[in-house]
Structure 1
Amino acid sequence: MKVLVAGLTPRDTGKTTLAASLVAQLIREGFTVAPSKPLGATDLWGSPRALAYTRSLHILATGDGYTLFKAAGERLPLEVVNPVGALLVPTPRSLYSSRTAYEMSLAQPHGRAALIRVTSCVSSSASVHMVNVDALSKTSKLVENEVQDIVAYLSPPPVQVDERVATGIFTGSASEAADSCILLEERSSDVVVIESNSDVAAPTPASAAPDLVVLVSPGEAYIVDGRRYRNAMEVLMLSGKPWVSKASELFDLTGSMSRVELPILEDPEEGYGPEVTEPIVDAIKSNAAAKSA
């Protein structure tokens, strides 16, 4: 069974906190659960702890991927939980001739993806690390040195690529590798909880066929029937790419089965308790019972 957690707004919805809390609650209730962040990117300026995660694991680790990996008790390797990951570096304003050019650079994450990892799970998990030399050339010397230090910890050692390759990964070329890891998780789990990125409807083709959907916005989450979501996606999807559609566009067509209020958490790492996750868990149980009937 696949549960998709997606955002109704582009940023700061709390998807990862809710997804991790849901994973933890399902495990407490006896389910075998696999979290998935098919494609994740962490901005190192805002989330520098990803550097420490990467050093300790010797594999590129994004912030969201690490959170989900820990929520599941490290049952599966981080690279299976987050098969496609990138670490973004800041681009100094001084490198751009105009404010418009600078703002455009901030809006295009593939241009700032200095380190990238793609993991395939076709037979066994196999990873490739990449250094985007174009992204490194657009950051400060201090940041570049920090990235080069991280490179020494990565296994396997990274290969050098340019922005064209990074752009391809962000626009879908790595989705087959990501989906191979989702399929691996499905074979070993009762429930796969998939976190989308930003506010896209679904990050990969395999994640575009959920049994249940949780759409998150600041302060609330909506539980949506997976079949209705899939049908709406088929209506709106362009060129067979679910990541082109926005979750909010689909929500206009699907409506919701129920709504859950989300409190402010002083420490998001503590996650939500059963009073928040239980309605979602109940919906998962009902869906599973209906499928087996």
Structure 2
Amino acid sequence: MRVLITGLLPQDSGKTTMGINLIRAFKEVGIRMFPYKPVAGFNGWYSYEYLIRGVNMGIIAGGDAFKYYDETGEDIRKINPFTLLTLPLDLEKADFRNVFFENKEGIVHALLRAESCTNAEGYYLAKEYQFSSEGLISIINGFLARRGFNLISENQIITMIDDSVNSTNNCTPQDDNIIIESYNDAAAPNWESLKVDFTLAVSPGKSFLISGEEYSMAVKALTFSRLMMKTIKVVGVVRPMKSFSLSPHNFENYREIVNWLLKYNIISK
């Protein structure tokens, strides 16, 4: 069974919490699900522990990828092939140019890890990373000193992020049993990720189950640019098969979802 998890909110929808708990609930009934989060990003200041953990493992990866890795033991590079590391902007280094600071929202799109999906990885470092704090810069310098990287502009990194909806297509596993997590409130992380049996649109306290085929058709019909549209726009036109109430730390919620997924999957075959 292939399941796509998308968020209804730009942040903190609960996608990874849903993914982890579904993996556990599926495991209870003898089904091993592979976790796949093709596109991710994290801030090296707020997620410092994951930055250091990744550096020690020889990889740049954020908290969500590590949570799936800890839960399943799968190769973290296959779990998450495309990761952006952002760093806080040092206002003094920006010569106190408030417009410069505000335009960048106080961060630098500093380092991108993009897997080629053929067991090779590439690191892309923004020249502007020098505008971040010295402590984090020294960590990045030490990490990159042991491997090759491409020095490009921050705008080029942003362009690569925008194109990830296409560039990560070839990384999407064709496993029969997989949980795919989108990023932020994007309707899907890439086009291949729309090839699923079901979609779960998630927000705090509520999740909506949607036919994968109907969801895919709606996304493709409503998308008019190369950028992926937002989940909420799709849910507004596709009627969910069922809704689920979610309570904090109540695992029974996720058992119920898995039971319904298995039921609907049998009916649709």
1:291 shift after superposition: 4.7
**Aligned with residue 260 of structure 1, among 244, 248, 251:** 244
Q: Percent identity?
A: 24
Structure 1 residue 179 corresponds to structure 2 residue 169: yes
Structure 1 residue 112 corresponds to structure 2 residue 89: no
User: Residue 177 and residue 16 in structure 1: after superposition, are their counterparts in 2 closer, same or farther (change >3 A)?
Assistant: same
- Partner of residue 28, structure 1: 28
User: Residue 283 and residue 178 in structure 1: after superposition, are their counterparts in 2 closer, same or farther (change >3 A)?
Assistant: farther
1:212 shift after superposition: 0.7
- Partner of residue 235, structure 1: 221
Note if contact 1:65-1:78 (Cα within 8 Å) is conserved in structure 2: yes
- Partner of residue 170, structure 1: 161
Unaligned runs of 5+ in 2: none
Matched ranges for 1:124-163 at <5 A: 124-134=118-128, 136-152=129-145, 156-163=147-154
Higher helix share: 1
- Partner of residue 88, structure 1: 86
Superposed CA deviations along residues 123-167 of structure 1, whole A, max 9, x for unmatched, are x42211222222x122122221232233346xx433322213311
Output the amino acid matched with 1:53.
R
User: Residue 120 and residue 24 in structure 1: after superposition, are their counterparts in 2 closer, same or farther (change >3 A)?
Assistant: farther
- Partner of residue 60, structure 1: 60
CA distance in 2, matches of 1:170, 1:216: 23
Note if contact 2:44-2:136 (Cα within 8 Å) is conserved in structure 1: no
| Structure 2 SS opposite 1:238 | coil
TM-score normalised according to structure 2 size: 0.89
- Partner of residue 176, structure 2: 190
1:56 shift after superposition: 3.2
User: Residue 29 and residue 56 in structure 1: after superposition, are their counterparts in 2 closer, same or farther (change >3 A)?
Assistant: farther
| Structure 2 SS opposite 1:56 | helix
Superposed CA deviations along residues 247-274 of structure 1, whole A, max 9, x for unmatched, are 0011111132222222235xxxxxx62x
1:22 shift after superposition: 1.0
| Structure 2 SS opposite 1:166 | helix
CA RMSD of aligned residues (A): 2.2
Superposed CA deviations along residues 220-256 of structure 1, whole A, max 9, x for unmatched, are 21112212212221221123x3x53110011111132
Note if contact 1:200-1:245 (Cα within 8 Å) is conserved in structure 2: yes
Unaligned runs of 5+ in 1: 266-271
CA distance in 2, matches of 1:209, 1:170: 22
Note if contact 1:39-1:85 (Cα within 8 Å) is conserved in structure 2: yes
- Partner of residue 255, structure 2: 278
1:176 shift after superposition: 4.6
Superposed CA deviations along residues 92-121 of structure 1, whole A, max 9, x for unmatched, are 3443523x54333128xxx72222111122
CA distance in 2, matches of 1:90, 1:201: 28
Output the amino acid matched with 1:103.
E
CA distance in 2, matches of 1:276, 1:46: 30
Question: What number of residue pairs does the alignment pair up?
Answer: 267
Note if contact 1:41-1:87 (Cα within 8 Å) is conserved in structure 2: yes
CA distance in 1, matches of 2:235, 2:165: 24
Output the amino acid matched with 1:150.
F
CA distance in 2, matches of 1:177, 1:78: 18
Matched ranges for 1:45-56 at <5 A: 45-56=45-56
| Structure 1 SS opposite 2:68 | helix
Note if contact 1:83-1:119 (Cα within 8 Å) is conserved in structure 2: yes
CA distance in 2, matches of 1:253, 1:176: 24
Note if contact 2:183-2:189 (Cα within 8 Å) is conserved in structure 1: yes
Note if contact 1:87-1:114 (Cα within 8 Å) is conserved in structure 2: yes
| Structure 1 SS opposite 2:202 | strand
User: Residue 282 and residue 129 in structure 1: after superposition, are their counterparts in 2 closer, same or farther (change >3 A)?
Assistant: same
Q: After TM superposition, where is structure 1 displaced by more than 3 Å over at least 4 residues in a row?
A: 174-177
TM-score normalised according to structure 1 size: 0.83
CA distance in 2, matches of 1:238, 1:131: 31
| Structure 2 SS opposite 1:92 | coil
Structure 1 residue 206 corresponds to structure 2 residue 170: no
1:19 shift after superposition: 1.0
| Structure 2 SS opposite 1:6 | strand
